[in-house]
Each structure stands twice: as structure tokens, then as C-alpha cells.
Amino acid sequence: MTYEDVTPKVPKGSLKVWREYRKFTLARLAKACGVSIPALSQIENSKRTPSVDLLVKLSKALCCDMEDLIR
């Protein structure tokens, strides 16, 4: 079993929808969560799986439930 098997993926579009709804740029959200812009872009496009810790940071920054990001 790999890390990707047990870590939920962010469906393509859900993070971007929340980010744009909260009027965050990629740069602003990346800085708020302590990740690089390319990493955040890859997560938005389902090319990278975020850690649970990062999902928590994203949900706090975007004022949403973590579950909203992984549906």
C-alpha cells in the first residue's frame, strides 16, 4: 500500500473553486499554507496528492471543511 492509496485526492476543480470563491490567488494561498505555487497548482489539477496536514491548512485558509476539498 502506498501513500497515494490512503491519502484522499483533491478532485480536479474543487480547490480552485474554493480558492476563487474566497478571492485567493495561487500565490496568496500558497504563501498562507507554506507551499510553493507549482505544488499548489499540481494539487488543483489532481497531479499531486496533498498531505493531511496541508489539507487542514488549506481548509483553514479557505474557511471551509476539509471534506469540501476532497469531494
Categorize the per-residue pLDDT at 70 as very low, low, confident or very high, splitting at 50, 70 and 90: confident
- How many domains is the chain partitioned into structurally? 1
9-66 confidence digits (pLDDT tens): 666 678 999 999 999 999 999 999 999 999 999 999 989 999 999 999 999 999 999 9
Going by C-beta distance under 8 Å and a sequence separation of 6 or more, which residues neighbour residue 68? 14, 18, 59
Within a domain: residue 67? no
Within a domain: residue 68? no
Q: Which domain holds residue 9?
A: 3-62
Within a domain: residue 49? yes
Within a domain: residue 44? yes
- Give me the pLDDT at residue 10, please: 65
Q: Which three cell numbers stand for residue 15?
A: 480547490
Within a domain: residue 43? yes
Q: Which three cell numbers stand for residue 66?
A: 476539509
**The CATH number of the domain where 21 resides is what?**
1.10.260.40
Work out the angle at residue 66's Cα, subtended by the Cα atoms of residues 39 and 51, and round it to the nearest 5 degrees: 40
- Give me the pLDDT at residue 2, please: 58
